[in-house]
Amino acid sequence: MINKDLCIIGGGPAGLAAAIKAREEGIEDILIIERDTCLGGILNQCIHNGFGLHVFKEQLTGPEYAERFIDKVKELNIEYMCDTMVLEVSQEKYATCVNTKDGLVQIKAKAIVLTMGCRERTRGALNIPGFRPAGVFSAGTAQRFVNMEGYKVGREVGILGSGDIGLIMARRLTLEGASVKMVLEIMPYSGGLKRNIVQCLDDFDIPLYLNHTVVKIHGKDRVTGVTIAKVDENRKPIKDTEEFVSCDTLLLSVGLIPENELSKNAGIEIDSVTGGPIVNECYETSIEGIFACGNVVHVHDLVDFVTGESYIAGKGAAKYIKGELKSGSDADTINVKAKNGVRYTVPQSIRISNVEDTVNLFLRVDNIYKDTCLVVKDGENIIYKAKKKVLAPGEMESIKINRKVLEKVKGSKLVVELLKE
């Protein structure tokens, strides 16, 4: 049995930032557990630039961004265990993990931060007819093969789904000499950031077909092509719009799912929309002393936002260990609900006593909206209003609410919604 003040599960950008912040807040005995062979998480395979614009005010590649945090962790002498898999987290804040060096290890912590990130939705979730030939990859797997292992995944590539990883891989494979035939998206809008559509598709003349999907994968040993079709408003293929496209590789960029097996087994309450834990203003879950941040809570577009969120969770965990967090009856709790075009908000509740200056509410909308207002309401009273030219599901929005405004809230519920101008 190992006793620690703070145990962080996951050594990606969220775990590293949470550990650094907790150390800066005076917590000495910290352990980061990472299942890969090195720290850095998914950033190690994201060799394109565009990271760090908010945090460092400069463009960095993924490994460069991770390196800054890894260097800081080493400088602060924060302990970490790589190549170690956490099997279970209990409500009593025990973490059971296993590795080849120590075998089965149990860690008792005063607080735990969950930063397991997210995983990709696979072909199995899509039910596409056809055989199971080689050449069907999730976009993140292809990214790892190309960027880290040095393999070429294919010569003629089709991409299903317009998530950010799919768009970035369209550019990456083109630069590696492959021919990317098209990117298909079943929805009437793209799932990725606008800048990625411009930089990855438009700049390389790769077509994006909205309202299209793959209805059949051809080939027995290796993919030989796919049949694509238009879909109607119910996302069902339209008869007689089928078209065969020859390719030897199909990449799937069809969504990310927060990695919450440990959270569910611990009995943590999960939000049905985000797929991540329900958290409060300090990113504390429904179990006292267990915090969560980053992609394990909800899927982010930018790692800079993950870092900001993780600083809050790291600071919250430090305050909890020091006994400075107000909970239950000590704090005035306000629940935050999403309505009318807003899919979800994170955090889902706010305890005013623990807010220092402002609370950042993150949210996503459920469709493309033009010339609309994003509002936060306390009953009928509007406490925040912002005019938005365009809102898209692929871009996360954030709202800053001041503590003084929260103190004037009369009810116990805030509603975040869209209103027509």
Q: 218-248 pLDDT, tens per residue?
A: 999 999 999 999 999 999 999 999 999 999 9
| pLDDT of 285 strictly over 60 | yes
First to last CA, the chain: 59
**Positive or negative CA dihedral for 94, 98, 102, 104?**
positive
| pLDDT of 329 strictly over 70 | no
To the nearest whole number, what is the mean pLDDT of the chain?
Answer: 93
* Of 268, 303, 325, the domain-final residue: 325
- Which range of residues forms the domain containing residue 384? 331-421
Give which of 290, 411, 276 is closest to 345, Cα–Cα.
276
Residues 320 and 338 in one domain: no
Q: How far apart are CA 315 and CA 317, in angstroms?
A: 5
Residues 81 and 42 in one domain: yes
10 within 8 A of 33, measured Cβ to Cβ: yes
Q: What is the pLDDT of residues 1-49, one digit of tens each?
A: 899 999 999 999 999 999 999 999 999 999 999 999 999 999 999 999 9
Residues 23 and 110 in one domain: yes
* Of 229, 254, 279, the domain-final residue: 254
Q: How far apart are CA 112 and CA 22, in angstroms?
A: 11
Per-residue model confidence (pLDDT) at position 327:
74
Per-residue model confidence (pLDDT) at position 408:
86
Query: In this structure, which amino acid lies at residue 385?
Result: K
Residues 262 and 116 in one domain: yes
Residues 116 and 129 in one domain: no
Instruction: Provide the token pair at 300.
Output: 């982010």
* Of 277, 302, 325, the domain-final residue: 325
Mean pLDDT over 156-167 rounds to 94
| pLDDT of 330 strictly over 60 | no
Residues 105 and 132 in one domain: no
Residues 231 and 276 in one domain: no
- Write the CA distances from 97 to 34, 87, 117, 264, 287, integer angstroms: 10, 5, 17, 17, 20
Instruction: Provide the token pair at 74.
Output: 């080493």
Residues 266 and 249 in one domain: no
Residues 239 and 129 in one domain: yes
Residues 136 and 249 in one domain: yes
Residues 134 and 114 in one domain: no
| pLDDT of 415 strictly over 90 | yes
Residue % of the chain over a pLDDT of 90: 84
Residues 357 and 395 in one domain: yes
Query: Which residues partner with 346 through β-bridges?
Result: 362
Number of domains in the chain: 3
Q: What is the pLDDT of residues 68-119, one digit of tens each?
A: 999 999 999 999 999 999 999 999 999 999 999 999 999 999 999 999 999 9
Domain harbouring 421, CATH code? 2.60.40
